[in-house]
Chains A and B, each alone.
Chain A
Amino acid sequence: MKVEKMILASITMKRDNVDGGSPIFICDTKEEMDKVAANLEAILDGISHALSDELYIIVKH
């Protein structure tokens, strides 16, 4: 089976919202989240999607 989409990383301000296999980056502010997500997006060649204001995921499409 070929996996077409995959969550590469999660970026959050609420540690309790995320659990599981992907790396989780915990940030204190929204600005920090944006910065981390922008860097990860560039590094991982993925797209950062916002699930809520406090939770971004980087997905490889």
Chain B
Amino acid sequence: MNEYTYPILFGVIIGVAIRLVMLRADYRQYPTYLHGKVIHISLGFIAASLGTIAVPAIMELEFTAVTFLTIAASQFREVRNMERNTLTELDAYELVPRGNTYIEGIAIAFEARNYLVIFTSLLATLSFLVWNIWVGLAVSFVCFFIVRKFMSGKTLKDIVKIEYVQPHFEGAGLYVDNIYIMNIGLPQRQEEIGEYGMGFVLTPKNFNVRSTIANLGQRQAILHDISISMGVFRDSGTPALVPLIKRDLDDGRIGVFVLPQERDKEKAIKIIGAVPVLENAIRMPSESKANKGEEDLK
């Protein structure tokens, strides 16, 4: 026992607690099982220890201890690789895959969360050592709220208007509103689609959003989320019953065609609204210098 024991203990506990807060299983169903959680809690513990121990090390004038943090960085980059590999492997067996953009987003989040744990532990321990445990706790709370803010990105309902439209056939062509989806030849398939198919039109609220929802990864994420939450009328070997999203080239609206097992329009609109806007899909054409000052782009 020395003067650093309690601050270090405090920092580690706060760090692990923050990691636990960020590790909630939701509709993305990941990580679900205890083993998956154990991996992330252990990594969170390592991150918390690294962040915590940096402070006393510097106070003891052991400046080389900072190089520890570089090990941490490469360690947690490995976490991102691990998540990416696992999810990509699993994606091949999904009826409606997540898509690489979604997976990359999840992997980045897992890496970033470990860094948040390091910072939190570092600040908590530092304030404990410089002032006292109460300041440490206060700083931890501030970190907690910042972390919560990091966790909640934008969702689709912030950037698009969602309307239900019953899909219809013109000859063999399947349409959602006026957006052509695909050609379905067999009358039997057409009947199934008439019975189970649901269509939605997503109208972008501004110019930036047009490019964001046009992103193929973002579109796949929408399809995946609906299929997860509402079930999917599909099996392997029925490629005709595939949910699809196509784009209206004129105005950037997208037509979502899905085959959910549960046909509840209100719920479906809610689910589409809650789909996260993927970081990697966000485009900001209005920020380009060439477009600056043109009000209609905003």
Contact = CB atoms under 8 A, between A and B. Distances in A.
Is B truly associated with A?
A: yes
Interface of A: 34, 37-38, 41-42, 45-50, 56-57, 61
Contacts of A38: 186, 188
Interface residues of B, number: 14
A48 B186 contact: yes
Contacts of A49: 172, 183-185
Contacts of B188: 34, 38
A50 B185 contact: yes
Contacts, number: 37
A47 B172 contact: no
Nearest to A11: B185
B172 A50 contact: yes
B237 A48 contact: no
A40 B182 CA distance: 19
A48 B183 CA distance: 8
A47 B239 contact: yes
B236 to A, nearest CB: 8
Contact of A45 (B172, B182, B185, B237): B237
A53 B183 CA distance: 13
B184 to A, nearest CB: 7
Contacts of A57: 185
Contacts of B182: 47
Contacts of A42: 237-238
Contacts of B189: 48
B297 interface: no
B186 A61 contact: no
A41 B241 CA distance: 12
Interface in B168-199: 171-172, 182-189
Contacts of A46: 239
